[in-house]
Amino acid sequence: MDPPESPPAGQPSLADASLYEDSPVFDFINSLSPIGPPKPLGPAQNVQLFKSSDLASLSSIFTSPQVNPQKETKPGTRDGYALLSQGLSPNCQRNQIGISSCIELSGSPTVASEICSPSEDATIFPSKWPQSIQLGSETLGVAETQDTDGKADHGADVGQGKLSSSGYDQNGIDQMDSSTSGRNVQENELAKQYNDDLAACSLNHLISHSGTGNGVMSKSGLSLEAQQLSWNLKCDDVIFSKSLMPVDQGNSEASRRKLLDGSTGCYIQSTADNAHVQCAGAAEGVATNHGPEMLPSVIRSQLVSNEHFFNTFKVPSDGMALTEHQCGMPRRSLFNEKVGSSDMSVQSGSNLHHANICGDNYLKPVGSPVYALSGIGLHLNAVASNSSNNMPFTINPPLPPEHNSPTTIVSCSELYTRIHDDHSSQKTMPNADESFQESHKKRRRKLKNGDGDSCRHCSCKKSKCLKLYCACFAAKVYCSGYCSCQGCLNNHTHEETVSCIRKRTESRNPLAFAPTVTHGFDSGSDFGGDSNQTPASARHKRGCNCRKSSCLKKYCECFQSGVGCSMSCRCEGCKNSFGKREGMLLATEKMEKGAKAKGTRLKEEKLGFEKQDVVGQSGDLLSTENLYATPSLEPCRSSILLPSTSQSPMKADVLLPLETCAAEMILEDGSSNIQEMSSSWVTSVKVVSPNKKRVSPLHIGTRLSPIGRSGRKLILKSIPSFPSLTGDADSEPH
């Protein structure tokens, strides 16, 4: 749309010319003046696309790290694309919004068109994303944008100068806001959706993160860092590696975020307070992270809308990223650069650098020295990848072997698909879908094989895994690579967003994250006194509302969790084999049978009391309404030692064989809640959902959860499934 401006004459070549001497782009870059007074926005200037929805409520400040333009791409191609996402703290004000920025370096206008079909472009890029925002007045950058027509516009802006991030930020924000008017319906809808969801939480995080692909780029169920670190990166040839300034900040964040070998790949992930760039090469399955500073100086920075981040990179055979292309990603421009200020933290090599845009930290690198280069502060990541849509994007958790990328990588097509979904599914990307499905299948296969972690292996498509629809979210765990969700934001990268959403959800419903069914396993003893447990369930207190399933199918939460329905249930025609709601007789025939056979019924009741005591100790609330069953469909391999407490009238330990595991343990106590099993008890009981589907032993560290965590609602949220790795997901206070 915007014709490229001719670059001003001048200048110092920032880049390492040796590599790209022959590149016109390089020449161009060299000709640009790195630092200069801010220029007014002009058509020629960077075009920035935003997703109004994302931005509307957000103000964003962007810092563009200054990068040494050393590695320019070959002519006619984009060297790289950097997406810089920045996370903001929840309390970030509008001005403090963290936004992910995509920085593109485009050498030739043609690239985008190659990758993205016009139609796609049209869809992805609303015709009226008018506003380009320049955060930095003087930025050198070739901006390539696509118009609604699907045309790729290339604008070359030559900027000199420092960018005063603060000043421009505001402008950029305003512009961004204004840009919303031009959005197409899809964008508006999406924006609305997200704004609604996130606004309360300072959308910033979400935006910035989602900008990286809605979490598509990174899904973490496990410690992302650890996994990534453990991976060998293959992308040695990432363009940026050389251009990067090896400045190590010693930033704790950086260390925390060390994901990939800095020399390779690039992907940008941002947490609330930091961002990194990640690039993944699909073909090689390479993923690399680069600090913003690593990016080429000539860049177009853009803010990427939460949902629309999608890039494909074309990688030349030589391993250089030839082109970067935005496949239908609405972008926000972000171009703040504070020269000489510490907008960005720079990390060399594998280290990530983070930009903290939020609040006080705005424009300050988090705990890291600022590495400012004159010229344009942009982050460019080039990733070697084939031109196909299969280019993987990084996702956290353990990838199935099929993925040859060290990091969890989602194919571009998948990402595309996700984006597609995000955008109202009006577009179709056959290839992407196929790719996605394929990986999806792989994941499922893996799951079937028992692989996976504490995550719930959700398959969310529209909820971004930020609603209780999402089993993972409901369980307060991050999604992992084993999930097949799309547009996932429930990951470490978006941890603050997740936290915000959780809070919001909880504010709406304090019991939202309470276990669907209280099993009373939360006595600390079982878990080493882990206090990180959710209060006894509330959900089950609400009870099910089954009408057609007669509480005999897993549609019924009670049934799924293997407990009888309670007074709280409003089910119709309850036939819950674990205990019917009618008459509040909690025991099933089987249970009674078992109880009689063992003569343990009375003891069980007492145990129930004991449980209460235990629970009380743990601060959990017990519902007398609930009956809890810990049925096991599997043959009971062992007897259960029921703990006795001094408080219990019957102190004798009860050894309860579980021959009839399924319903046997359902206890009925008309006047009391029982069912709270002592931890010791619990540990010895293996609970299996009726059909075992979605119920798998919860691995808590090395231990199994007493009750298999089954579906979304049955998950004992009080039990951290993978505390250390999931970060706050499991341990976060409720």
Partner DNA sequence: GAGTTTGAAACT
Partner DNA sequence: CAGTTTCAAACTC
- The binding site for DNA (CB under 7 A) comprises 196-197, 437, 441, 456, 458-463, 465, 467-471, 474, 505, 508-509, 512, 516, 539, 542, 544-549, 553-557, 560, 691, 693-694, 710-713
Taking the complex as a whole, the smallest distance from the CB of residue 516 to DNA amounts, in Å, to 7
Question: Can you tell me whether residue 229 is helix, strand or coil?
Answer: helix
Taking the complex as a whole, the smallest distance from the CB of residue 450 to DNA amounts, in Å, to 16
Query: Is residue 680 classed exposed, middle or buried when 0-12, 13-18 and 19+ CB atoms within 10 A define those classes?
Result: middle
Strand ranges for 349-448 from DSSP E: 355-356, 364-365, 392-395, 408-411
Kindly tell me which of 154 and 461 has the beta carbon lying closer to DNA. Answer: 461
Taking the complex as a whole, the smallest distance from the CB of residue 554 to DNA amounts, in Å, to 3
Taking the complex as a whole, the smallest distance from the CB of residue 506 to DNA amounts, in Å, to 10
Taking the complex as a whole, the smallest distance from the CB of residue 730 to DNA amounts, in Å, to 18
Taking the complex as a whole, the smallest distance from the CB of residue 153 to DNA amounts, in Å, to 32
Kindly tell me which of 441 and 637 has the beta carbon lying closer to DNA. Answer: 441
The values of phi and psi at residue 274, to 5°, are: -155, 165
Kindly tell me which of 205 and 234 has the beta carbon lying closer to DNA. Answer: 205
Kindly tell me which of 554 and 611 has the beta carbon lying closer to DNA. Answer: 554
Kindly tell me which of 380 and 501 has the beta carbon lying closer to DNA. Answer: 501
Q: Which residues is 700 bridged to in the sheet?
A: 703
For residue 191, give every residue at least 6 positions away whose Cβ sits within 8 Å of its Cβ, in sequence order, or none. Answer: 51, 52, 53, 54, 55, 56, 180, 183, 305
Kindly tell me which of 570 and 593 has the beta carbon lying closer to DNA. Answer: 570
Kindly tell me which of 390 and 710 has the beta carbon lying closer to DNA. Answer: 710
Element (H, E) at 278: strand 274-281
Give the other-Cβ count within 10 Å of 283's Cβ: 20
- Please give the single-letter amino acid code of residue 96: Q
Kindly tell me which of 197 and 337 has the beta carbon lying closer to DNA. Answer: 197
Kindly tell me which of 343 and 422 has the beta carbon lying closer to DNA. Answer: 422
Kindly tell me which of 342 and 721 has the beta carbon lying closer to DNA. Answer: 721
Taking the complex as a whole, the smallest distance from the CB of residue 568 to DNA amounts, in Å, to 11
Kindly tell me which of 546 and 656 has the beta carbon lying closer to DNA. Answer: 546
The answer to whether 319 and 221 have CB atoms below 8 angstroms apart is no
For residue 301, give every residue at least 6 positions away whose Cβ sits within 8 Å of its Cβ, in sequence order, or none. Answer: 46, 48, 62, 64, 82, 84, 101, 102, 103, 104, 135, 136, 139, 141, 333, 334, 335, 378, 379
The answer to whether 305 and 288 have CB atoms below 8 angstroms apart is no
Taking the complex as a whole, the smallest distance from the CB of residue 498 to DNA amounts, in Å, to 13
Kindly tell me which of 231 and 559 has the beta carbon lying closer to DNA. Answer: 559
Give the pairing of strands 268-271 and 331-332.
unpaired
Taking the complex as a whole, the smallest distance from the CB of residue 691 to DNA amounts, in Å, to 5
Kindly tell me which of 287 and 465 has the beta carbon lying closer to DNA. Answer: 465
Kindly tell me which of 238 and 485 has the beta carbon lying closer to DNA. Answer: 485
Q: Which residues is 155 bridged to in the sheet?
A: 143
Taking the complex as a whole, the smallest distance from the CB of residue 697 to DNA amounts, in Å, to 15
Kindly tell me which of 555 and 624 has the beta carbon lying closer to DNA. Answer: 555
For residue 342, give every residue at least 6 positions away whose Cβ sits within 8 Å of its Cβ, in sequence order, or none. Answer: 363, 364, 365, 368, 369, 370, 372
Taking the complex as a whole, the smallest distance from the CB of residue 444 to DNA amounts, in Å, to 7
Taking the complex as a whole, the smallest distance from the CB of residue 559 to DNA amounts, in Å, to 8
Taking the complex as a whole, the smallest distance from the CB of residue 557 to DNA amounts, in Å, to 5
The answer to whether 515 and 227 have CB atoms below 8 angstroms apart is no
Q: What angle do CA 504, 510, 511 make, to 5 degrees?
A: 120
Q: Which two tokens stand for residue 112?
A: 């985008």
Question: Would you say the C-alpha torsion 715, 719, 721, 727 has a positive or negative sign?
Answer: positive
d(CA 35, CA 21): 22
Taking the complex as a whole, the smallest distance from the CB of residue 196 to DNA amounts, in Å, to 5
Long-range Cβ contacts of 691-695 (<8 Å, 24+ apart): 691/554, 692/633, 693/554, 694/456, 694/471, 694/554, 694/560, 695/560
Q: Which two tokens stand for residue 708?
A: 């298999």
Give the pairing of strands 152-157 and 268-271.
unpaired
Q: Which two tokens stand for residue 293?
A: 């500073």
Chain centroid to Cα 578, Å, comes to 37
Q: Which residue in 47, 329, 92 sits closest to 190, CA to CA?
A: 329
Q: Which residue in 427, 363, 339 sits closest to 126, CA to CA?
A: 427
**DSSP letter string over 21-90?**
TT-HHHHHHHHS-SS-------TTS------HHHHHT--EE-------TT-PPPTTSEEEEEEE-----T
Kindly tell me which of 681 and 722 has the beta carbon lying closer to DNA. Answer: 722
d(CA 118, CA 125): 10
